[in-house]
Amino acid sequence: MSESSAAARAWVDVWQRAWTIGDAELLTPLYADDAVHYSLPFRERGRPQDYVAWVFGEQAEAECRFGEPIVEGDRAAVEWWGVITERDGTVETVAGTSHLRFGNDGRVIEQRDVWAAEPGRRELPDWAR
């Protein structure tokens, strides 16, 4: 297994745990100190930790699944799906792909997410079962 493959697998495993329990701190070791995150192509970039803390702060609970990472060189793409219950009881389904670039130490230095959201619960797509 390549270093990037191992890093991508670790990213999936930690994200699965962190998102489910809403603990942004679990994600900190995955990212370089100067990592950059784009949550949508045209949103302003920021630190992944800041974005995730904001998102997790809004959720009361979450169910999520991740596809197998597709890795090429120092980059990986990972499909994901989640059903989020907000603190006000609103339910939303999100699905997307995270495009990751890893540094020499295996930590993420850049993450670009492309995703869509829809009110209510949508069942898992076939790839995530």
Over its length of 129 residues, how does the chain's per-residue pLDDT go in tens digits?
689 999 999 999 999 999 999 999 999 999 999 999 998 766 766 778 788 888 888 899 999 999 999 999 999 999 999 999 999 999 999 999 999 999 999 999 999 999 999 999 998 767 555
3-state secondary structure of 67: coil
**Number of residues in the chain:** 129
> Which domains does the chain possess?
3-122 (3.10.450.50)
What pLDDT score was predicted for residue 47? 78
Q: At what angle do helices 3-21 and 48-58 cross, to 10 degrees?
A: 30
Closest CA to 65 of 53, 46, 90, 82: 82
